[in-house]
Structure 1
Amino acid sequence: MNPILALLKENNISDEQIKELFEVLTQNPLAAMATIGQLGLPQDKLQLLMGQVMQNPALIKEAVDELGLDFSKVEAAKAQLQQ
């Protein structure tokens, strides 16, 4: 299992909340940061999650694929942010 998804599940984040988070991520990465903050993860787990994402951004693609979402939307949102 993807380490991001595993960390969220270990902290009792429901499958529905995880899918919602990654749907927001595919549409608006900045809004996803606010959504992550609302999950109520302990600070140390939140830092671990952010560290994993920053060290290995490919984990996001793996998680999106594992959830059956469209990664091209993540790429489009990222391109939009860079403009």
Structure 2
Amino acid sequence: MNPIIAVLKENNVSDAQITEVFEALTQNPMAAMTTISQLGLPQDQLQQVMAEVMQNPGLIKEAVDELGLDFSKVEAAKSQYQP
């Protein structure tokens, strides 16, 4: 299982909320940070999830695939934030 999804599940985040987080990541990665911060994760695990999201886009793709979402939206969103 994807480590980001695993941390969320360990903290009793529902499947619907997990899907919502990754849909937000595919549409607007910066706004998704707000969604993640509102999940009520302990501070240390919140920092871990935020670091994974920011530093390892491969994990995002893996999670998006695992959840059956559309990764092409992630690529489109990323291009909006690159100069």
TM-score, normalisation: structure 1? 0.92
Aligned length: 83
Alpha-carbon distance in 2 for matches of 1:32, 1:54: 11
Match of 2:38 in 1: 38
Alpha-carbon distance in 1 for matches of 2:47, 2:10: 15
TM-score, normalisation: structure 2? 0.92
Within-5 A mapping of 1:1-83: 1-83=1-83
Structure 1, residues 36-80: CA drift from partner, whole Å, max 9, x if none?
A: 011111101011112333443210000000000000100000001
Alpha-carbon distance in 2 for matches of 1:66, 1:34: 22
List runs of 5+ in structure 1 lacking aligned partners. none
Alpha-carbon distance in 2 for matches of 1:53, 1:33: 9
List runs of 5+ in structure 2 lacking aligned partners. none
Large movers: runs of 4+ above 2 Å: 50-57
Change (3 A) 1:29 1:54: closer
Give, as a single letter, the amino acid of the residue that structure 1 aligns with 2:31: A
Determine what percentage of the aligned residue pairs are the same residue: 77
Structure 1, residues 4-24: CA drift from partner, whole Å, max 9, x if none?
A: 101000000000000011111
